[in-house]
Structure 1
């Protein structure tokens, strides 16, 4: 029961990481305008994401424009897109595999393949978390490097946006969920699959032929003869008289 609760906890953490990765991928708040120098403009803020570029006005109006050309984008932005999409796909596939391998489901109940499925799900969440962590770390490094570049104009400097922080949180949740699932699969192997297994019934085949009869091995005993029949060894004569079943030579 404890191992089942641990698996549910790991799966829940992985789902939170998956949801956060999707939100971070879709939000345009990856890079926000940095207010540096004497030209401080508070009425307009520029936002850059993986899929679009937005302008936020102080009146609360958003104006977004989706990137029209994929090949015209910078290489770092193309790589960030690919890594985040791959992280989302990996988390989706891992969620399906983890559901099949968890002890609270009925799929292949009592089989050793459940622990392998849970282990595969844990490794999948670890890979998804690493992909997301690499992407947000790469973006953070680029933003910080450009911000402290003295040769870059102040109007082209950006700060770290909200989507990057969501990506950090999502990656840590996915990594934690993957570690918990891997640990639960290892602990479940030593104690079995957690479900009562049916006892094995041994079917014994009946003998092909019945055992030989007792009378066929040993011949029957000779019939009992009374002592009167052995009184005289002489052969009975033809003149012997019999009356009522008794012979006369028995009394001579």
Structure 2
């Protein structure tokens, strides 16, 4: 009962993490324009993401433009593209694999050892997806904070932490919790069997009372014995 509840909880938490990874990957709010001076009138706001940068002016709709070249991006955003895509794929495949190991599914029914191994594999994939989220988000946050306090940069070149970074950190926590729920389980002692057909034990066969057996049918009748030529002779 407890393991069944933990499996459902792990699936729900992992699904929330998968949605968070997709949102973090697609959002352009990784780097936001920093307003440092005393002027509180904001005329233009700029966001920089993994796939596009967006501008928004006062009383004007947001306008976004996809990056023309991958090499134009800074190194942390180039690495973040690959890692976030890997995290999205690992999290999605991990949840699909975990479906086969749940108790409510008919796959490998009666073989708890195989189901436990499948769930642990899914937990490992969720943990790897968690690492693939934390690395680019933390790296990008470190670069933003470092450049913010760099005296060689002007105020227009400084950026602040965007909303996508905070969502990424929360998403990594959800994926880590899902991985723990999948991995923290006891391995059953009985490994079970993958055989679809189990042949009966012929050595334990016992004849039914009152029915002739094969040996009694083939044996000669009472009072008759076989000679050397295999023919029946009377006693």
Smaller-chain TM-score bracket:
0.7 to 0.9
1:3/1:187 contact within 8 Å kept: no
Name the counterpart of 1:83: 83
Post-superposition Cα deviations, 1:64-117, rounded to whole Å, max 9, x if no partner, equal: 000111223222211010000000011111111001111111111112211111
Q: SS state of the match for residue 104, structure 1?
A: coil
Q: CA RMSD in A?
A: 2.6
Q: Which runs of 5+ in 2 are unaligned?
A: 193-197, 208-212, 225-235
User: Does the CA-based 8 Å contact 1:30-1:160 persist in structure 2?
Assistant: yes
More off after superposition, 41-50 vs 172-181: 41-50
Question: What is the CA deviation profile of residues 187-222 of structure 1, one whole-angstrom value per residue up to 9, with x for unaligned ones?
Answer: 3626999xxxxx9964544676339679559xxxxx
Per the alignment, in what secondary structure is the counterpart of residue 21 of structure 1?
helix
Aligned to 2:168: 167
Give the length in aligned residue pairs.
211
TM-score (norm 1): 0.76
Match of 2:48 in 1: 48
Q: Match of 2:117?
A: 116
Q: Which consecutive unaligned segments of at least 5 residues does structure 1 have?
A: 194-198, 218-252
Give the number of the structure whose alpha-carbon radius of gyration is greater. 1
1:211-241 CA-partner distances (Å, limit 9, x unpaired): 9679559xxxxxxxxxxxxxxxxxxxxxxxx
Counterpart for residue 188 of structure 2: 189
| CA–CA separation in structure 1 for the residues paired with 2:124 and 2:199 | 34
Contact 1:35 1:41 in 2 (8 A): no
TM-score (norm 2): 0.81
SS in 1 for 2:70: coil
Counterpart residue number, 2:2? 2
CA deviation after TM superposition for structure 1 residue 59, in Å: 1.6
Q: Residue 187 of structure 1: SS of its match in structure 2?
A: coil
What CA distance in whole angstroms lies between the structure 1 residues aligned with 2:20 and 2:5?
23
* Conservation of the 8 A alpha-carbon contact between 1:130 and 1:171: yes
